[in-house]
């Protein structure tokens, strides 16, 4: 039986707005789940041993290459075995948490998750990206154009020449409004954003479940 792969990367645990929205999805989801919490159990950043192991005959691997290859195999098989994905990736300093980037670097491998001659083996599978951020980065905001996270994820995860997933993005905004007095006037916008994010996550889970059952 296949499963949903849920990758968490927020360092805030239950206080994470990204994780809270993901739990709305999980509360609606009826199928099996494999959950990997990169904040609690980070994977190592890609090393020279990990890179060279990909182009070296396994019979010739050094102990370091063998260890790095075994980790990549575990992560890649877990990724390929899923039928759908939820990624909780909050914005840290305009970009993704380093633990999530480390995971991406471990699982994106030509000839395995990438097919340079055609589609990725996971192409078309549904993926929900949940990315909370402390401020607002949409059109007309003072920080418009400074979101280097969602466009990158939508490209890496969704482009046909990369992983080719069918990506839906949920963006809870202004999460600092309850905590920063200067942002207090924006609290209603934050609350509306959270409500919309929870609703969208639950709807995604419902629709995905209906598709599986069809």
pLDDT at 118: 83
pLDDT tens string 124-135 = 999 999 999 999
pLDDT at 83: 96
User: 43-52 burial, b for 16+ CB within 10 Å, e for fewer?
Assistant: beebbebbee
pLDDT at 34: 97
- With a cut of 50, list the residues of the chain below it in pLDDT: none
CATH of domain 3-213: 3.40.50.360
**At 3, is the secondary structure helix, strand, or coil?**
strand
pLDDT tens string 154-204 = 999 999 999 999 999 999 999 999 999 999 999 999 999 999 999 999 999
Residue ranges per domain, the chain? 3-213
Pairing outcome for strands 3-8 and 82-88: parallel
């Amino acid at each position: 039986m296949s499963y949903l792969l849920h990758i968490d990367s927020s360092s805030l645990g239950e206080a994470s707005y990204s994780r809270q929205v993901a739990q709305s999805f999980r509360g609606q989801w009826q199928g099996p789940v494999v959950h990997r919490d990169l904040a609690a159990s980070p994977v190592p950043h890609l090393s020279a041993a990990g890179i060279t192991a990909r182009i070296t005959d396994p019979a010739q691997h050094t102990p370091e290459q063998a260890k790095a290859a075994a980790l990549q195999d575990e992560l890649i098989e877990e990724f390929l075995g899923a039928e759908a994905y939820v990624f909780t990736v909050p914005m840290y300093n305009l970009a993704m948490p380093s633990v999530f980037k480390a995971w991406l670097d471990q699982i994106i491998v030509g000839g395995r998750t990438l097919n340079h001659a055609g589609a990725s083996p996971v192409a078309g599978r549904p993926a929900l990206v949940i990315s909370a951020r402390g401020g607002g980065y949409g059109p007309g905001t003072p920080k418009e154009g400074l979101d280097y996270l969602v466009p990158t994820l939508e490209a890496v995860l969704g482009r046909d020449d990369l992983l080719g997933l069918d990506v839906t993005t949920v963006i809870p905004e202004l999460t600092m409004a309850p905590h920063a007095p200067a942002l207090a006037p924006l609290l209603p916008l934050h609350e509306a954003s959270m409500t919309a994010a929870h609703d969208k996550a639950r709807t995604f889970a419902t629709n995905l479940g209906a598709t599986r059952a069809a």
